Amino acid sequence: MTEVLLYRKLYENIKGDILSGKYREGDLLPSENVLKDAWHVTRSTVRRAMLELEKDGYIARKQGKGSIVLPRRRHTLGLLSVKGFSQVVGETKKPVKTITIEKPIQTFFPAEFFYPLSDVETEAGCIFLKRIRCVGDEPVMLENTYIPNIGLEDLVSMPFVNGSLFETLGRVYQIEIRHVEPDLRAVLAGRAESRWLRIPEGTPLLHIYLRFSTNRQHVSIYSSLLCNTNRYSVGINH
């Protein structure tokens, strides 16, 4: 096996151990000598894999200490540059289906929320709903949505316009989406995700956090998406 393939295999193995929780934040990875002997590779191959892990934000290499696992990283991007559901449907000839797991309810924002909230948003609480997005009969996305409950009390009791949350917000409440800010990370499916998405535990998932800015003061729309990208690329579609 060439050095390129060996370093890549070592890189993927260590990255998988970090994502699975075998190595946690702050843990010290095995030394270059230990990895060299365990994998029967050269020191330069190990060093190349470590450099790639450091460049990709999984570890920090500290002189005299070794390689330390970093907190799970998050990327902030200007756009979510992946395909949307409508394009997926066009390619697969399969219909999109949305399954509502939890209908809209009035509740509080979680104490540990994935975006900073203003005092107004926190005090108002939120409208929460949970849905599964399917292509054909195959679930590909688990979505939790949170909307500050500011003048939206009726949203919990009305049917969505054409089955669309965003269309309902636009037509009924004149709330228009102006901008989306996504954060992405790689995670592994736990027991709940494996059940909803019908995949084995430990399957790699793309976790996308979204904050949609609107024309309404203090009303941003927040979504947490867990996406199975094994067969379909996914995007923003409400």
Q: Point out the domain boundary residue: 69, 94, 115.
A: 69
Q: Point out the domain boundary residue: 12, 35, 69.
A: 69
Residues 13 and 79 occupy one common structural domain: no
Residues 150 and 44 occupy one common structural domain: no
Model confidence pLDDT, tens digit, residues 123-170: 999 999 999 988 778 888 899 999 999 989 899 999 988 888 888 888
The Cα–Cα gap between 68 and 50 comes to 11
Residue 236 lies in a domain: no
Q: Are strands 177-188 and 204-214 parallel, antiparallel or unpaired?
A: antiparallel
pLDDT of the residue at 79: 32
Residue 127 lies in a domain: yes
Residues 167 and 83 occupy one common structural domain: yes
Residue 172 lies in a domain: yes
Residues 16 and 82 occupy one common structural domain: no
Looking at residues 91-106, what average pLDDT do you find? 80
Residues 102 and 138 occupy one common structural domain: yes
The Cα–Cα gap between 115 and 215 comes to 19
Residues 31 and 139 occupy one common structural domain: no
Residue 234 lies in a domain: no
CATH number of the structural domain spanning residue 175? 3.40.1410.10
Residues 155 and 98 occupy one common structural domain: yes
Residue 175 lies in a domain: yes
Residues 57 and 90 occupy one common structural domain: no
Q: Are strands 138-148 and 126-135 parallel, antiparallel or unpaired?
A: antiparallel
CATH number of the structural domain spanning residue 19? 1.10.10.10
- Is the pLDDT at 3 greater than 80? The verdict is no
Q: Among 234, 224, 31, 227, which Cα is nearest to 128's?
A: 224
Looking at residues 63-86, what average pLDDT do you find? 56
Residues 80 and 65 occupy one common structural domain: no
Residues 62 and 171 occupy one common structural domain: no
Model confidence pLDDT, tens digit, residues 178-201: 888 888 888 899 999 999 999 888
Its domain, for residue 39, covers: 3-69
pLDDT of the residue at 72: 62
Residues 133 and 15 occupy one common structural domain: no
- Residue 105: pLDDT band with limits 50, 70, 90: very high
Residue 93 lies in a domain: yes
Residue 99 lies in a domain: yes
The Cα–Cα gap between 216 and 163 comes to 22
Residues 45 and 146 occupy one common structural domain: no
Q: What is the DSSP string of 17-51?
A: HHHHTSS-TTPBPPPHHHHHHHHT--HHHHHHHHH
Model confidence pLDDT, tens digit, residues 18-69: 877 788 888 999 999 999 999 999 999 999 999 988 887 889 988 888 899 9
- Is the pLDDT at 232 greater than 70? The verdict is no
Domain count, the chain: 2
Residue 142 lies in a domain: yes
